[in-house]
Amino acid sequence: MRKSADAAILMQQSFDISDVQTLFPEHMDWDQFQHYSPDVPFSEPVVEFLSDFSASLLKDRMARIYPDVVTFAFFCRKANLLRLKQQYTDDHLRLGRGIVFHIAPSNVPVNFGYSLVAGLLAGNYNVVRASSKEFPQVGLIVKHLKAIASAHEAVARRIGLVRYGHDSVANDFFSSICQVRVIWGGDQTIARLRQSPLPSRSYDITFADRYSFAVINADEMIHEEHLDKVAEGFYNDTYLFDQNACSAPHLVVWLGSTEAKQRAKMLFWKALHTEIEKRKYHFQDIMAVDKLTTFYRQAVGMPIHKNDCEDNELVRVSTNTLQADIDEYRGKCGYFTEIDFDAIDAVTPIVKYNYQTVAVYGLTIDAVREFILKNRLVGIDRFVRIGDTTAFSLTWDGYNLIQTLSREVTIQN
């Protein structure tokens, strides 16, 4: 570990981080921050800290306005953390890596919180760069971190939550002191941040641009008694973040008989449009322009047919040919491409390394497992139910975050 005096000299001579806004704590001594002692994963102090944080957040009426904040608070509940501890710990001796530098994305407000929690649970000190956008969810989380900090000083000192612009040299400084750098963002963001050197034994965990789709068994859907709940879940998967999240489906694959597909489509899209109106989706003029641009660009690149739609809040196009570059025609704010297949195996020719999540309705776990083992694709890391695509897991994009953010210490007999 770098000596504090050396770190102070390096910071003074090489890095001007005066533009860094410290959100938590109010004042940070970055030299002192580097005097860390890694913890074991899921240590009792961390679990208690997160449990109290969750309770504080859930008592706040303002927090209830934001479903993503409430979901985050429930993730941090003690009962859930203890369940995860059983799932993610074993007899191996593990310690945190040290300092983890997290760069949060700009399109999912609460993502920075989940990344921080993963770092804490793995036993680390954490520098988290929040989005430069002013999300109210960020303010709420910071407020409640401050509210419980004095009762959990040992854990609170492991957190540095910051905000700064893209041109800041702070990326260079925080990269120079970290053991792991976690980058949430597009390919261009990752390329830019990799220009900041890491220490020789440090490494990156990157969450790059990904593509996701949905698979619906129409034979099952036509018998669904709570289609409104399915539509609500699909709305949360897609419209909640304007289809910007990597896990948001853009392509919808329909399976089943021809008659069932026709009826299921009518029922499902009608139920989704009802949900859009009920939730009062904030549809802006620029979204309509973007959808029209996407349609024309897609129509030039592949054979498609635009389906009848009540308004621009839900746009559907159909294709009979699933081209290998379908992931390049992703729309936003409620733009979906549909295709009919007899079996899910028909999607295998297009699946590339950048495919992340499949939202599933009406397929059994055994059927999904058989598909995975039969085809052994280079892409697709997650199969989840419709409505759960944005649900955070400590295994994300194929990374077991507890193992990846910690190190195993072996003792030889």
136 DSSP assignment: H
| 96 occurs within a structural domain | yes
Q: Which residues pair with 206 in a beta bridge?
A: 183
Does the pLDDT of residue 10 top 50, yes or no?
no
Q: Are residues 92 and 222 in the same domain?
A: no
pLDDT single digits (tens) 191-221 = 999 999 999 999 999 998 899 999 999 999 9
Least confident range of 113-122, 163-172, 237-246, 271-280: 163-172
| 413 occurs within a structural domain | no
Does the pLDDT of residue 272 top 50, yes or no?
yes
Q: Are residues 220 and 186 in the same domain?
A: no
Q: Are residues 145 and 55 in the same domain?
A: yes
**Domains contained in the chain, number:** 2
pLDDT single digits (tens) 61-119 = 999 899 899 999 999 999 999 999 999 999 999 999 999 999 998 888 999 999 999 99
Q: What is the CATH number of the domain that holds 197?
A: 3.40.605.10
Q: Are residues 160 and 224 in the same domain?
A: no
Give me the mean pLDDT over the 331-348 stretch.
96
| 117 occurs within a structural domain | yes
Give me the mean pLDDT over the 322-326 stretch.
93
pLDDT single digits (tens) 352-363 = 999 999 999 999
pLDDT of 12: 43
Mention every residue, 6+ apart, whose C-beta is less than 8 A from residue 59.
none
Q: What is the 3-state secondary structure (H, E, C) of 239-303?
A: HHHCCCCCCCEEEEEEECCHHHHHHHHHHHHHHHHHHHHHHCCCCCHHHHHHHHHHHHHHHHHCC
Task: Give Dmax (Cα) for the chain.
Answer: 74
333 DSSP assignment: S
| 87 occurs within a structural domain | yes
Q: Are residues 323 and 343 in the same domain?
A: yes
Q: Which two tokens stand for residue 402?
A: 């507890």
| 186 occurs within a structural domain | yes
Q: Are residues 159 and 305 in the same domain?
A: no
Q: Are residues 133 and 267 in the same domain?
A: no
The one-letter code for the residue type at 300 is: V
Q: Which two tokens stand for residue 375?
A: 């085809």
Q: Are residues 147 and 117 in the same domain?
A: yes
Q: Are residues 111 and 193 in the same domain?
A: yes
Q: Are residues 378 and 236 in the same domain?
A: yes
pLDDT of 165: 87
Q: Is the pTM of this model over 0.85?
A: yes
| 154 occurs within a structural domain | yes
Q: Are residues 262 and 376 in the same domain?
A: yes
Give me the mean pLDDT over the 245-260 stretch.
96
307 DSSP assignment: P
Does the pLDDT of residue 25 top 50, yes or no?
yes
* Integer Cα distance of 179 and 210 in angstroms: 25
Mention every residue, 6+ apart, whose C-beta is less than 8 A from residue 170.
15, 17, 19, 20, 129, 162, 164
Q: What is the CATH number of the domain that holds 301?
A: 3.40.309.10
| 153 occurs within a structural domain | yes
What is the domain range of residue 240? Answer: 211-391
Q: Are residues 93 and 124 in the same domain?
A: yes
* Integer Cα distance of 126 and 112 in angstroms: 11
Cα dihedral value 110, 113, 117, 118, nearest 10: 60
